Amino acid sequence: MHPRWGRSSAHLLSNFPLVTGMALLGIFVLIGLFAPLAYPGDPNSLPVDQNVFTRCKMSSAPTLQLFPFSLGPHPLGQTAHLGFDVSEGLMLGTRWDLLFIAIVVGLSVLVGAVLGASAGAMGGWAESVLSPLFDGALSFPPFLVVLVVLAVVTPEAPPGTALGVFLVGVSAVLWAPFAQAVRAQARILARQPFVEAARASGARWPRVVLRHILPNCNAAVLAQVPPTVFSLLFVMGAYQYLGLLSGNNPACGHDSQAAGAFLLLPSYQFPEWTWVLANGTMGWFPPGVGTDQWWGYLLPVGWIVLFLLALTLFCDGLLTYLSPFERH
């Protein structure tokens, strides 16, 4: 084994946050890949208990159909309203939530990092034009922006496009923190000798930004990833919850037009983490109904918190690993 590789691998293994975060995120990825094997059938449609769906109440002691076993009643229970299994909803929804997170974070980083690096490195007119844009984007609450965008765009868009509009709308707001953080880092990097040398050799600003500034802004980007994912899940969950409170279940005697107006996912049986959580918390309404079915809300919350913890550990550990001051 090459000595440099040995030192690098030892440094990696000694980084507890990075190793732990990688292991936990790896488990989520494996769940997303193999959940359809554990729950045969349509992976994009949760099978519901029609009795629960019709009477819109909580149900205890459902059956866990975990391939190839049928383990009978288990403590994960069913959610209110739709009556689907909590474990099935969380596991089948993992791949979709990971995809949504990758899309929003990818768009936010792409737009925010490029604009922030350009403003911080070039200064002058570029910073004068872009800085008010950053400040304006930061001043709008993500939930309000998404609510307005969905209300305006969705009625005119083809059916089933609300989710795509939501992801683009959230990305249109969440790129601003990346831009602000990268701009501050780029200001410092623009005065470093290696950047000045590149400029003196005749390199234009686009090349300097892409080749010299952005690759050294990993600290600013990694620090913003966990808050961005938290904001995405919070806004998505709030919108799902708003939809249920406004009558997002025609089977319960609610207005189908109101349900359609607030339906974010492709269908009522679509697996998604915040949708499982929203249905579980609806066991509290009316007050006093379903409060003993703790699995409907505590398990989805624990699932999401565990993922956010894994992502935070991974980003913090990777930041430490990439830091030149931590290399041995």
Query: pLDDT (tens digit, 9 = 90+) per residue, 314-327?
Result: 999 888 887 754 54
Task: Locate 288 and state its tokens.
Answer: 């006093």
Q: At 255, is the pLDDT very low, low, confident or very high (cuts 50, 70, 90)?
A: very low
Q: What pLDDT score does 168 carry?
A: 86
Q: How many CA atoms lie within 13 A of 281 on its CB side?
A: 15
Q: What pLDDT score does 51 carry?
A: 58
Buried b (16+ CB within 10 A) or exposed e, 36-64: bebbeeebbebebbeebbeebbbbeebeb
Task: Locate 90 and state its tokens.
Answer: 């969380």
CA–CA distance, 223 with 212 (Å, rounded to integer): 20
The single residue listed with the structure tokens 């701009």 is 183
**Calculated CA dihedral for residues 290, 293, 298, 304, nearest 10 degrees:** -90
Average pLDDT over residues 261-285: 77
Q: At 258, is the pLDDT very low, low, confident or very high (cuts 50, 70, 90)?
A: very low
Least confident of 4-8, 89-93, 230-234: 4-8
Average pLDDT over residues 239-260: 56
Q: What pLDDT score does 164 carry?
A: 85
Q: What pLDDT score does 158 carry?
A: 66
Among 1.10.10, 3.40.50, 1.25.40, 1.10.3720, name the CATH number for the domain at 6-322. 1.10.3720
Q: What pLDDT score does 78 carry?
A: 63
Q: What pLDDT score does 264 carry?
A: 80
Q: What pLDDT score does 38 carry?
A: 82
Q: What pLDDT score does 39 carry?
A: 83
Yes or no: say if 113 and 185 are a contact pair by the CB < 8 Å rule: no
Long-range Cβ pairs for the range 132-137 (8 Å, 24+): 134/176, 134/179, 134/180, 134/183, 137/172, 137/173, 137/175, 137/176, 137/179
Yes or no: say if 178 and 113 are a contact pair by the CB < 8 Å rule: yes
CA–CA distance, 15 with 323 (Å, rounded to integer): 12
Average pLDDT over residues 65-70: 50
Long-range Cβ pairs for the range 272-275 (8 Å, 24+): 272/89, 272/93, 272/96, 272/97, 272/236, 272/240, 273/89, 273/90, 273/93, 273/94, 273/97, 273/233, 273/300, 273/303, 273/304, 274/233, 274/236, 274/237, 274/240, 274/300, 274/304, 275/89, 275/93, 275/240
Average pLDDT over residues 96-104: 95
Mean pLDDT of the chain: 75
Q: At 265, is the pLDDT very low, low, confident or very high (cuts 50, 70, 90)?
A: confident
CA–CA distance, 179 with 171 (Å, rounded to integer): 12
Ranges of each domain in the chain? 6-322
